[in-house]
């Protein structure tokens, strides 16, 4: 487990370990001393453990994240009983020895009781320690490695746009057209305002891999559009295994208007720069999330956007190519809700879309559909005059 003890991960291990002590019996030890862990309390029994999962603060949207590590002391099986203080069981347990490749715990090993407030997991013990988590762990250092890999393939600028409450860098990736154009057109992609929303994060990374790929379409796209991506907007929440909020207990996707938090302020500063330059125009904003189904929350069709009808054209083009992939286009007229979507649409009049992936959407299907959504996004935007 040595690889956790570097940089941000070390800080995380220290902060998280303060939340819950490791606990053990004759069969295994359970701990939460790693980035992304959430195990609020742990009581060992003879052959079982009762793990309590609390949110970071309340009230809170019910996305009960949990993640702990099991270190076997002998072979056999244990029951881990998860008790939620504030929500019902939502995420199907995933298991991994290395924190990279994950498998779902078989349904026959999961028993929900008390309407999902209590869930018993039967875990088979081998010889290796393994993680049990609500979704795959996609951590700050995973993003660092991913950014490095993408930036090695095509020319990109990687820079911090600010710092989180706890001082972690908020990294942006930018691609700038090689030949300067009189009108600068920007697209903005962001993700992980909400830490447990890993499926949305997986989609975002696959989406950006297409936009930043070395294909003729992506090259044409980047020759015209400035692309700015902020894939990890709530690094503190991810490190601390939060259900939804940043370290100040604020839902970042309700802070687009108040702008009380450094994470949202950092992105606002980018938008301010675009707005301040008479030759610059924002053309599109996509904000990646997860929910219980695949859905795009968009402007109402009757609300004008510039470019006009982008969303209808984009989603129709993608749907033609995605016969087996279910997704919903949910119109959500501009409301008082202070989300990134509403803020960006109100300020710029551009298509501003919350791109939601289902918690349980098949991971290969996420990737396959995202390729299409990314390609059709580029084709559709390139179809408008500069
Ligand atoms: Zn969300």
Query: What is the 27 CA–ligand 1 centroid distance (Å)?
Result: 37
Query: What is the 35 CA–ligand 1 centroid distance (Å)?
Result: 20
Give the domain-ending residue among 95, 115, 133. Answer: 133
**Same structural domain, 10 and 50:** yes
* C-beta separation of 133 from 101 below 8 A: no
Query: What is the 61 CA–ligand 1 centroid distance (Å)?
Result: 9
Query: What is the 254 CA–ligand 1 centroid distance (Å)?
Result: 10
> Token match 């940089």: residue?
7
**Same structural domain, 119 and 147:** no
**Same structural domain, 98 and 153:** no
How far apart, in Å, are the Cα atoms of 304 and each of 35, 281, 284, 307, 346? 43, 16, 13, 9, 11
Query: What is the 310 CA–ligand 1 centroid distance (Å)?
Result: 23
**Same structural domain, 170 and 108:** no
**Same structural domain, 191 and 278:** yes
In tens digits, the chain (386 residues) has pLDDT values of 223 333 344 444 444 434 578 999 999 999 999 999 999 999 999 999 999 999 999 999 999 999 999 999 999 999 999 999 889 999 999 999 999 999 999 999 999 998 899 999 999 999 999 999 999 999 999 999 999 999 999 999 999 999 999 999 999 999 999 998 899 999 999 999 999 999 999 999 999 999 999 999 999 999 999 999 999 999 999 999 999 999 999 999 999 999 999 999 999 999 999 999 999 999 999 999 999 999 999 999 999 999 999 999 999 999 999 999 999 999 999 999 999 999 999 999 999 999 999 999 999 999 999 999 999 999 999 999 99
Domain range holding 260? 140-382
What is the pLDDT at residue 19?
58
**Same structural domain, 228 and 331:** yes
The total domain count for the chain is: 2
CATH value at residue 74: 2.60.40.3120
Query: What is the 55 CA–ligand 1 centroid distance (Å)?
Result: 15
**Same structural domain, 97 and 175:** no
Answer positive or negative: Cα dihedral of 208, 213, 215, 220: positive
Query: What is the 193 CA–ligand 1 centroid distance (Å)?
Result: 6
What is the pLDDT at residue 8?
42
CATH value at residue 180: 3.40.630.10
> Given phi > 0 = left and psi -120 to 50 = alpha, else beta, which region is 27?
alpha
Q: Got the DSSP string for 273-288?
A: HHHH-TTEEEEEEEEE
**Same structural domain, 109 and 147:** no
What is the pLDDT at residue 1?
27
Name the nearest CA neighbour of 161 among 57, 265, 253, 309: 265
**Same structural domain, 299 and 166:** yes
Query: What is the 185 CA–ligand 1 centroid distance (Å)?
Result: 27
**Same structural domain, 219 and 107:** no
Query: What is the 203 CA–ligand 1 centroid distance (Å)?
Result: 13
The contacts of residue 288 (CB under 8 Å, 6+ apart) are: 189, 190, 191, 192, 197, 200, 201, 203, 204, 207, 355, 357
Query: What is the 82 CA–ligand 1 centroid distance (Å)?
Result: 23
> Token match 């069709």: residue?
301
**Same structural domain, 172 and 253:** yes
How far apart, in Å, are the Cα atoms of 237 and each of 80, 242, 253, 372? 25, 5, 13, 30
How far apart, in Å, are the Cα atoms of 168 and each of 12, 262, 297, 315, 328? 11, 11, 29, 35, 35
Give the domain-ending residue among 94, 115, 133. Answer: 133
**Same structural domain, 225 and 123:** no
Query: What is the 72 CA–ligand 1 centroid distance (Å)?
Result: 35
Give the domain-ending residue among 111, 133, 155. Answer: 133
């Amino acid at each position: 487990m040595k690889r956790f003890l570097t940089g941000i991960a070390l800080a995380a291990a220290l902060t998280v370990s303060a939340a819950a002590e490791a606990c053990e019996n004759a069969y295994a030890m359970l701990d939460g001393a790693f980035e992304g862990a959430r195990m609020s309390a742990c009581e060992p029994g003879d052959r079982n453990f009762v793990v309590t999962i609390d949110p970071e603060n309340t009230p809170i949207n019910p996305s009960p994240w949990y993640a702990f590590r099991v270190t076997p002391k002998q072979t056999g099986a244990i029951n881990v009983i998860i008790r939620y203080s504030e929500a019902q069981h939502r995420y199907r347990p995933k298991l991994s020895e290395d924190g990279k490749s994950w498998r779902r715990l078989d349904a026959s090993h999961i028993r929900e009781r008390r309407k999902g407030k209590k869930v018993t997991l039967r875990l088979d013990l081998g010889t290796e320690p393994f993680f049990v988590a609500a979704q795959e762990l996609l951590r700050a250092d995973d993003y660092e490695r991913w950014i490095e890999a993408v930036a090695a393939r095509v020319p990109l600028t990687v820079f911090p746009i600010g710092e989180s409450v706890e001082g972690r860098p908020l990294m942006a990736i930018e691609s700038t057209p090689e030949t300067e154009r009189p009108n600068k057109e920007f697209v903005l992609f962001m993700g992980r305002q909400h830490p447990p929303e890993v499926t949305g994060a997986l989609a975002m990374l696959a989406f950006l891999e297409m936009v930043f790929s070395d294909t003729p379409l992506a090259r044409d796209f980047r020759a015209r559009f400035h692309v700015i991506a902020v894939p990890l907007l709530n690094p503190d929440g991810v490190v601390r295994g939060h259900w939804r909020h940043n370290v100040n207990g604020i839902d970042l996707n309700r802070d687009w208007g108040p702008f009380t938090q450094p994470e949202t302020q950092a992105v606002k500063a980018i938008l301010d720069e675009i707005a301040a330059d008479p030759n610059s125009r924002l053309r599109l904003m996509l904000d990646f999330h997860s929910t219980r189904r695949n859905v795009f929350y968009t402007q109402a069709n009757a609300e004008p956007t510039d470019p006009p009808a982008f969303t209808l054209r984009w989603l129709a083009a993608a749907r033609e190519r995605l016969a087996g992939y279910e997704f919903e286009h949910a119109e959500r007229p501009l409301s008082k809700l202070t989300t990134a979507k509403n803020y960006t649409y109100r300020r710029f009049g551009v298509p501003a879309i919350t791109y939601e992936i289902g918690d349980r959407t098949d991971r290969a299907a996420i990737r396959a559909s995202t390729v299409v959504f990314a390609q059709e996004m580029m084709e559709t935007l390139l179809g408008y005059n500069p």
